[in-house]
Amino acid sequence: MRVYDKSVIKVNASTENGRVVLDTEGPLSTVAKPIIKRINKIFLEEKPIYSDEENIIFSTWAPPMPGDIFKRLISAQVASILKKRIPDQFSIGITTHCPYDCIHCGAAGTVADPILSFDEINGAIEQSIDLGSYYIAFDGGETLLRKDLEQMVAKVDKTRAIATCFTSGFGLTEQRAKDLKNAGLFAAHMSLDSPEEAEHDRVRGRDGAFQNTVNGIKHVVNADILADLFVVISPHNIDDLDGFYNFAADMGMQEMSIYEIIAVGRWMDHEDEVITSKDVDRLGKFQKSMNNKEDGPRVTSFPNFMGPDEFGCFAGRRWMHTTAGGDVLPCAYTPLSFGNIREEELADIWERMGKHEAYSCSAEYCMMRNPEFRDKYIRTISEGTQLPVRLDKDIH
């Protein structure tokens, strides 16, 4: 099927043995070959969460193909070949409030006074889509504590972007899940810290947290919203990979996404309790093993996906995050503000970010794992400073 059709390049998608394969034609076809080869390698080793003769949904993190939004994804890939920065992903904090007290919370201590209004959030999202974003994520705190979440989801232009949200499932009723589906929510990333109830509740700092997540997932699945189990892996739970996967499979979820714990927020002083390169290799092997199964959820390991063998670090290059107070960061885990959407247009902030010495070139893996980066930008300038740190507008 034709999934992208421009005069300079055309992209076709087909399925072979349950796997997606892309091929190109047109004047830019030769230039595009390296990135198409990289994408095909990922497709070959992994499985989509859904496919039939007319549609393919590769992941909760990507729009269905074919379609207008998928064309925007391809446009972003073509732009990257031409060295043009596009914020594929735009995540935005809509609240700092949360019923839990997670020991690893990355958002703890960030400035958000006052919290962004409904109109400010919608305006930022519209600006990000104009810049090329096709994946919009509502983030928190606990996103469900915003009673206008459904209205925000509904406002996202579904001809140009998919809308997702991060949630623990707290307070998610059957009716609210249906309302979010009707508003056009594409996927819900449901967080879990342990497949064991007592341990999950301990990490969250509240009894009943595990059951809240279970109930929320049930309502999401029943509402026909794509359900992703979002797992932050640390040295403390990396041995529970099979348990997480079995939990996601038993709950009927379509995907299990793995992110690495970052020494930020409440975990700022735990730089010795993050995963190692050996752990990343282990996650990659787990991903391939699970995605070779015919049935069950697909696995997406972001330490590998955003690693040197695939696409590298997205922060400030293909990902932009706005806090609930309006500060624009390279990603949700890098507490460096390049401006505030209450004061400037998002395009100006994005351009400034790209000129900064840390983001004007590629990075093979998460920069927050880089000791030199942390020494220069996180540890030194953040001492005694409220996070996120606001960089001077002329800093490069």
Instruction: From 224, 121, 211, select the one nearest 171 (Cα to Cα).
Output: 211
Q: Determine contact, residues 59/49, Cβ cutoff 8 Å.
A: yes
* Res 393: pLDDT: 52
298-330 residues labelled b (16+ CB within 10 A) or e (exposed): bbbbbbbbbbeebbbbbbbbbbbbbbbbbbbbb
Q: pLDDT tens for residues 225-275?
A: 999 999 999 999 999 999 999 999 999 999 999 999 988 878 877 788 889
* Residue ranges of the chain with per-residue pLDDT less than 70: 3, 15-19, 45, 108-112, 380-387, 392-396
* Res 290: pLDDT: 95
Q: Is 210 helix (H, G, I), strand (E, B) or coil?
A: helix
The pair of three-digit structure tokens given for residue 94, joined into one six-digit string: 């809509």
Q: How far apart are CA 15 and CA 24, in angstroms?
A: 15
* Res 156: pLDDT: 98
Q: How far apart are CA 185 and CA 305, in angstroms?
A: 24
In sign, the C-alpha dihedral spanning 72, 306, 107, 394 is: negative
The pair of three-digit structure tokens given for residue 221, joined into one six-digit string: 């699945």
* Res 396: pLDDT: 44
Amino acid at 86: I
E-state strands within 181-325: 185-191, 226-233, 255-260, 298-301, 319-322
Instruction: From 390, 387, 331, select the one nearest 359 (Cα to Cα).
Output: 331
Q: How far apart are CA 9 and CA 3, in angstroms?
A: 11
Q: For the packed helices 197-204 and 209-222, what is the interaxial angle rounded to 10 degrees?
A: 100
* Res 113: pLDDT: 74
pTM of the model: 0.91
Q: How far apart are CA 113 and CA 154, in angstroms?
A: 25
* Res 69: pLDDT: 94
* Res 380: pLDDT: 55
